[in-house]
């Protein structure tokens, strides 16, 4: 058990976010690296959509589910780490939407696709140090 020290809770939640950010970046690195030539496997748009849906649902349920399970076991709920994780999720949604609007035009660079994953890794590492986001 990790205990109920709020900084320790933030540390674990930050680690969860950073891991999900790396998974996001790994999937997009596959796309960007295969854009120079034929990809070793073909992945349909529906499969990508499903991946990102499961990725987001997993991000939400892993972090919040873990926090709620630890809190239920100890009988004490700390709102600070909960709010920090909700802020991280909100920022991820905003960064994903903004970078998606740049990609939706169809013309231009593909690097904005990396921004949501980089955001998760960066904010996850920031939260990992145990300090509050705000």
pLDDT at 126: 96
pLDDT at 43: 78
Write the pLDDT tens digit of every residue in 67-113: 999 999 999 999 999 999 999 999 999 999 998 888 776 666 678 88
Instruction: Examine residue 41 and state whether it is found in any structural domain, yes or no.
Output: no
Instruction: Examine residue 64 and state whether it is found in any structural domain, yes or no.
Output: yes
Rg (CA), the chain: 17
| Tokens at 38, concatenated | 């034929």
pTM of the model: 0.88
* For residue 1, pLDDT beyond 90: no
Write the pLDDT tens digit of every residue in 23-49: 999 988 777 776 666 667 777 889 989
Write the pLDDT tens digit of every residue in 52-69: 999 999 999 999 999 999
- Cβ-in-10-Å burial (0-12, 13-18, 19+) of 63 comes to buried
pLDDT at 112: 85
In whole angstroms, give the CA distance from residue 122 to residue 24: 13
pLDDT at 107: 60
* Higher-pLDDT residue of 5, 36: 5
Instruction: Examine residue 120 and state whether it is found in any structural domain, yes or no.
Output: yes
Instruction: Examine residue 134 and state whether it is found in any structural domain, yes or no.
Output: no
Q: How many domains does the chain have?
A: 1
CA distances from 49 to 36, 43, 70 (A): 22, 10, 31
Instruction: Examine residue 118 and state whether it is found in any structural domain, yes or no.
Output: yes
pLDDT at 108: 64
* Residue 87, domain extent: 6-34+46-128
Instruction: Examine residue 1 and state whether it is found in any structural domain, yes or no.
Output: no
Q: What is residue 41's DSSP assignment? A: S
In whole angstroms, give the CA distance from residue 51 to residue 111: 19
Torsion over CA: 27, 32, 36, 42 (sign): positive
């Amino acid at each position: 058990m990790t205990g109920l020290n709020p900084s320790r809770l933030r540390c674990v939640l930050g680690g969860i976010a950073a891991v999900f950010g790396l998974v996001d970046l790994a999937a997009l690195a596959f796309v960007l690296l295969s854009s120079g030539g034929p990809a070793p496997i073909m992945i349909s748009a529906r499969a990508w959509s499903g991946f990102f849906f499961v990725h987001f649902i997993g991000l939400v349920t892993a972090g919040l589910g873990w926090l709620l399970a630890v809190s239920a076991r100890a009988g004490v709920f700390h709102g600070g780490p909960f709010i920090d994780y909700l802020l991280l999720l909100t920022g991820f949604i905003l960064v994903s939407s903004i970078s998606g609007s740049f990609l939706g035009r169809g013309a231009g660079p593909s690097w904005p696709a990396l921004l949501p994953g980089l955001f998760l890794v960066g904010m996850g590492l920031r939260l990992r140090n145990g300090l509050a986001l705000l």
